[in-house]
Amino acid sequence: MTHEREKKDRPAQRFHGRVGDSGRPCMEPGCESPGEFRAPPPEGVSQRDQPAAYRWFCLDHVRAFNARYNFFAGMSVDEISAAQRPYAGWERETRAFATGGADRPPPWADFSDPLDAIGARFRARAAADRKDGRPLSEGDRRALKVLGLGTDVDRRALRERYASLVRQYHPDRNGGDRSFEKKLQDVIAAYQQLKGAAAFA
């Protein structure tokens, strides 16, 4: 019971940003408490050419500092307006998540890929694009593979290939043999996919 009362009477020791046992006194004039909380340096003190010149306060005085702190102090009207824009800080270039199913290639010129694990991936992707720039979906690419056609085939060659494969796999052309029925269905489905694709519009 006594231990619980002592624990309850003791002030809480966990505060965000607290640096215990720092040995620094509070920098508020006249305060003798330890300076356990860090605050930004005074205005005009540059942190670029020297270690950060932080100020250190006790809990009460860092709370008072935070209450009167003004982020926009010393800024011009234009600087304040720029900092308050909804997209402020988002103008810098960031890494895209993906482009066309593959991540962007690494931007650094000295990247080493001795097994060509990454380079081959992007070359394969580039080789699969049409020369006329028309888009091909993954479904379109699978359909072209079923028909045994390349990515740059035109609509006329597509129809000719379809007609040729239908004749090849149709049971009437194989004496009623239905063993090619699955292939015939795949060919028909692939042609239906490509017939309405943007690349063959």
Residue 138's CATH number: 1.10.287
Q: Where do the H-state alpha helices sit in the chain? A: 2-9, 59-68, 77-83, 119-127, 138-147, 155-169, 181-195
Question: Is residue 163 assigned to a domain?
Answer: yes
DSSP secondary structure letter of residue 160? H
Question: Is residue 94 assigned to a domain?
Answer: no
Contact 149, 142 (CB under 8 A): no
Question: Is residue 125 assigned to a domain?
Answer: no
List the structure tokens of 159. Answer: 């129809």
Residue 1 is predicted with a pLDDT of 47
Structural domain count, the chain? 2
List the structure tokens of 148. Answer: 């045994």
Residue 76 is predicted with a pLDDT of 86
pLDDT of 113-148, one tens digit each? 666 666 666 665 555 578 887 888 888 989 999 999
pLDDT of 73-128, one tens digit each? 788 888 888 877 776 666 665 655 555 555 555 555 556 666 666 666 666 555 55
Residue closest to 154 by CA, chosen among 201, 103, 88:
201
Residue 125 is predicted with a pLDDT of 57
Question: Is residue 88 assigned to a domain?
Answer: no
pLDDT interval class at 7 (50, 70, 90): very low
Residue 113 is predicted with a pLDDT of 66
Residue 33 has pLDDT above 60, yes or no: yes
Residue 3 has pLDDT above 50, yes or no: no
Question: Is residue 76 assigned to a domain?
Answer: no
Question: Is residue 58 assigned to a domain?
Answer: yes
Q: How many Cα atoms are found within 13 Å in the side-chain-facing hemisphere of 43?
A: 7
Last residue of a domain, one of 16, 48, 68: 68
What domain range includes position 152?
Answer: 132-200
Mean model confidence pLDDT for the chain: 76
